[in-house]
Amino acid sequence: LPEHRAYLSCLAEDFARDVHGSIVAAARRAAVRPDTVVDEAREHIATALRLATAFCQTASTRAASESIEQYLNNPDAAPSAACVVHGRSGAGKTSLMARAAAELMASSGKR
């Protein structure tokens, strides 16, 4: 009986070690690796959507909003032209673009 007990103990330890190793290996294969670029893009999108909800259209931003809307709704007009928004610091350029992006996403059904 002591030999059988030692055999069963060794078998159980080997089994537990092998199953544990197999589970750890499978978990490592299935794990999503962190991607700093994806994480940063996700943060930018979240920030933009927060800014978009706080954006208030004013007389001074209306013309810029209309120009951005025309640019986004007519991509074939100037396929190599960039949309450039400029202004003083704190003027609301980021909020304006965030609002334009949110409206574009909403009109295309993506949110």
Predicted local confidence at residue 110, as pLDDT: 55
| Angstrom distance (rounded) from CA 72 to CA 69 | 5
* Cβ density class 80-102: b for 16+ within 10 Å, e for less: eeeeeeeeeeeebeebbbbbbbb
CB-based burial label for 52 (10 Å; 0-12, 13-18, 19+): buried
Predicted local confidence at residue 59, as pLDDT: 83
Is the Cβ–Cβ distance between 103 and 49 less than 8 Å? no
Average confidence (pLDDT) per 10 residues, the chain, 111 residues: 80 80 82 79 81 80 88 77 86 86 76 48
